[in-house]
Structure formats: C-alpha cells, structure tokens
Structure 1
Amino acid sequence: MAQAPEQTKLMTLDELLALGDAHIDVINGEVIDKAEMGVLHHLILGNVYSALDRFVKVKEFGEVFPYGLTYLMCSPFDEISNAFIPDVSYLRLEDLRRAIWKLELPYPDVPYLAVEVISPREKAYNIQNKLYTYLVKGTEQVWIIYPKTREIYQYRRDNNPEIRIYRASGLESIDAESLFPGLQLTTDDIFKLPTWAQQ
C-alpha cells in the first residue's frame, strides 16, 4: 500500500522572527535563502526606490519601502506558507490604515506593488512561484527587473496588458500611471548608473 507523502510542517511567525536578520523568502512552505546582491543590484533598486519615494512623499499616496520589509502574503501566523521580502515595495494609505498589525512585525498582507531585482543566481522557478503568488494573493503589479539585460517585466493583475516588457534602449516610458497618477518614469531612471559604475 502506497504511503501518503509527508507534509512539510509550516513555520510559525515566531519561528520566522527567530531567524533574525536572515535574508530568506518562504515560498510554498520552503525556506529559500535569497541570492547575494552585488553592487549593480543595489544601484538599480536604489534608483527605483528613489524615483518612487520622491513622488509618493510629495503626493502623500502611501509609503514606499526599500529592501527589508517582510510581507506575510496573507498567511496565518501559525502557518507561514509564503513570506516575501521584495527589493522595493509600495503600500497605499488605505492599505496601511486598513491593516491591523504591530508596526515592529512583518506586514500581514501583500504589497500593492512589488519590485524584484533579479540576481544572476536566482532560480527561475522561484521567481515564477513568487510572481504567481503575488498576483493571486492580490498584489496589483509586480515589476521584475533584470539588470544584466536591462529589461523590466511589468505584470499586472488587471491584465491590461497582462505583461509588458521594457528594454533600456533609449528613454522608454514605463506605464506607472495606474499606480502613481502623474508619475513620469523611464527606463533610464531605472538603469542609469553613476559614472564610476559605467563600463
């Protein structure tokens, strides 16, 4: 008689917090070490964060968070099936006001926008699993940025269009209007490097 496969025990919020400053994602119950980030990765995520944060602060739309904020992706505290740390994320004011949680804990819900800058050693199936989870759980848009090929893949829940790909060949405008009305954002804003980093 065939045995049923063993079910992986999901970690609790306390167990997740006990990991301290470990750079991990929890994807479908599996703890995944995040790939090391090089200087290029940080420069790109810094560009995204700066452009969005400047705009959102002036308009008072919500809050843009740099790398480090954990999202529990609607997982119950006693069974964390997914917990992600996007490189940059955005929450609208209504998201922040609606959520009931202690500010020193991970955010219990999903980001309105998640930005993931892809490192060379990240596995494609982990990226796809995270993308799928973000959109199914309610994240409005996910931007996947590939620094090496200088491409941005913009995925939208409203399917309008479902995916759009931007390549850094000139000043191509990124459609950020539905998230940030009035924001003008180009591929150059995302991929521009300081003189010392240009090769």
Structure 2
Amino acid sequence: MMLDAPAKTKLLSLDELLKLGNARVEIIDGSVVKMNAAGFIHAIVGGNIHDPLKQFVVKHNLGGVFYDGLTYLMLSDAKGLKDSFVPDISFIRLANILPMPDMSKPYPGIPDLAIEVISPGEDADDIQTKLRTYLAKGTEQVWLVYPTTKELHQYRRDNNPEIRIYHGSQTLDLADLFPGLELTTDQIFTIPEWALR
C-alpha cells in the first residue's frame, strides 16, 4: 500500500524517513511502501529461522543476525533515498559490518543475507524489485520464505538467476554463509504444539 511521499519526483531524505518514527515502511524504487502487518505464522516461521542462525553466528563469532526492524539504506544519493529495505531477518558478516557512530540510525550498507517471510497480500512486483536490488547491490543471498506453501526460495548472487527451491524435508545449502550449520525445511515450517491448541 503506497503512502503519500512529499512529491512523486522528489525522493524521501533520510531525515524525512526518520521523522516517520515507528511507521513500518520501506522505500522501493523511490516510493514509500507501507509494510503489511505480520501474522502469527509469519512470526513463528521467522523465529524458526532466526533462532538457529543467531545461535550459530554468536557461537562462531561470524557477525550479526538481526530480526525484523533493521532498516538498510540500499541505494541513496544527494537527492534522497531510492531504496530502503527492512528484511524480516538479515545477516552481516563480521568483516563487512560498517562503523556506526550513531547506532539509532538505519544501517548505511547492505546485508550479506536478506530473508523475507512472505505474507499473503504482499505485492509480487515489490518483492521482485527488492530481490533484484539486494543482489545488484552485493547481497550474497536472498531467501524468500513462503509459509503458506512451505517453500523456501534461495537466490544467490554468484549463481543468479538460478533459484534453489526447498520444500518437504530438505536440508538448505548453507556452506557459503554458515559452514557446518544444518537447517531443514522441516525445522523452518514446524508449528509448535502450543500454537496449535
């Protein structure tokens, strides 16, 4: 759902983005886009991915894993922000973490891994624009996770445009980002018993 930007031809500045406060928005190709509210299944599946990644990354001191809320300034210039994304889960390698003199501001770089848990009603064109932008700017992998169909689509910058689609009981290929970690689609899409009551 598009929100009114100051003008169609004028890009939003970082200050204008920050003035939106806690509004859940992204900037996609220069347009301010309101993010859909996440449902219960979205949060469960996101947690099923985030938790093992975070534990593994912390244990092996690989970098930072971030859960919903970190804004990445993907593409900006003196005229304003063209792309500013908030992935559901993201990872930045330790060697790629940029200095952050003001940690209250959005991250001025890109994630090495961006994970988007796709909710019903998300705009397919926006999803594809974000995917292309992530890969073009240098993100190593993008995962599109579909709780409804229980599929994970893995896009790799070094193998674009090939897509690995995982479903059923498959083990994800994580060797490039998380060597030694095993994560299966069963783990990702399992709904705990307490949630099924």
What is the TM-score when the length of structure 2 is the normalising length? 0.92
When structure 1 is superposed on structure 2, of 100-109 and 64-73 the one drifting more is 100-109
Residue 187 of structure 1 corresponds to which residue in structure 2? 185
Give runs of aligned pairs for residues 163-178 of structure 1, distance below 5 A.
Answer: 163-167=163-167, 169-170=168-169, 172-178=170-176
Runs of 4+ in 1 over 2 A off after TM superposition: 98-102, 196-199
Residue 81 of structure 2 corresponds to which residue in structure 1? 80
Residue 37 of structure 1 corresponds to which residue in structure 2? 38
Residue 24 of structure 2 corresponds to which residue in structure 1? 23
Give runs of aligned pairs for residues 50-89 of structure 1, distance below 5 A.
Answer: 50-76=51-77, 78-89=79-90
Residue 3 of structure 1 corresponds to which residue in structure 2? none
Alpha-carbon offset, residue 100 of structure 1? 5.3
2: distance between equivalents of 1:101 and 1:141?
27
When structure 1 is superposed on structure 2, of 134-143 and 156-165 the one drifting more is 156-165
Alpha-carbon offset, residue 76 of structure 1? 3.0
Alpha-carbon offset, residue 162 of structure 1? 2.6
2: distance between equivalents of 1:141 and 1:99?
22
- What value does the CA root-mean-square deviation take over the aligned residues? 1.7
Structure 1: gaps (5+ residues): 1-5
What is the TM-score when the length of structure 1 is the normalising length? 0.91
The superposition leaves residues 149-199 of structure 1 with CA deviations (integer Å, 9 ceiling, x where unpaired) of: 0000000000078310001x22x1000111111111111121111113349
Question: How many residues in Structure 1 have an aligned counterpart in Structure 2?
Answer: 191
1: distance between equivalents of 2:45 and 2:78?
33
Identical amino acids, percent of aligned pairs: 50
Secondary structure of residue in 2 paired with 1:32? strand
CA gap of 1:7–1:22, structure 2 versus 1, over 3 A, is: closer
2: distance between equivalents of 1:195 and 1:33?
32
Find out whether 1:121 has 2:117 as its counterpart: no
Alpha-carbon offset, residue 104 of structure 1? 1.4
Give runs of aligned pairs for residues 130-145 of structure 1, distance below 5 A.
Answer: 130-145=130-145
Asked whether the 8 Å contact 2:10–2:79 carries over to 1, the reply is no
Alpha-carbon offset, residue 78 of structure 1? 4.9
